Amino acid sequence: MSKKGSALVLPSLLVIAWAFALSGSTAPGAVAGEATAMSDLRWILYFAGFVFLFSSVMHSVFAKSMAASIGWKTNGFQYEIAAVSLGLGGACFYAVHHGIDAMATVSLPIVSFLFLAGVNHLFEIVRKKNYAPNNTLILIWDFGVPISLVALLVSLGTF
């Protein structure tokens, strides 16, 4: 798969998560009769869990190639991202089965991490003219997931 093709994976997974949510498919951990927004929230977090676990592997096992695909040089940042991604991935899977409090709690670090990662990618684009596919297309994920989580949590009266 080309670098541009691999960069489309995360935006595609956000679209797929919303497709499952909007299709009315029963979300993992769903409770009969729960609000649609609750089920949608479960789908977004469920797919985010897979993405974070995938990110953990990519930023540790494949650290050099991952950094290159973003347009960066290899350094310790990948292992820090791998560690936080592993924790967030596990927390997402836990949260979808443990109710709104768990889902709201895990959403806080996800929203801040991804939003600020997106801001960093924007700075890279503007300041360094870094148009690497994994520095540009990732913006759909970096801003799409936080917007989705906040919107769903607000609609549920949680935020």
Q: What is the pLDDT of residue 4?
A: 55
Mean pLDDT across the stretch 124-138?
94
d(CA 155, CA 8): 29
Tokens, residue 25: 């498919």
d(CA 26, CA 62): 34
pLDDT in tens, 20-44: 999 999 999 999 999 999 999 999 9
Question: By the 8 A CB rule, do 135 and 70 touch?
Answer: yes
Tell me which DSSP letter residue 98 carries.
Answer: S
Tokens, residue 61: 């096992």
Q: What is the pLDDT of residue 7?
A: 80
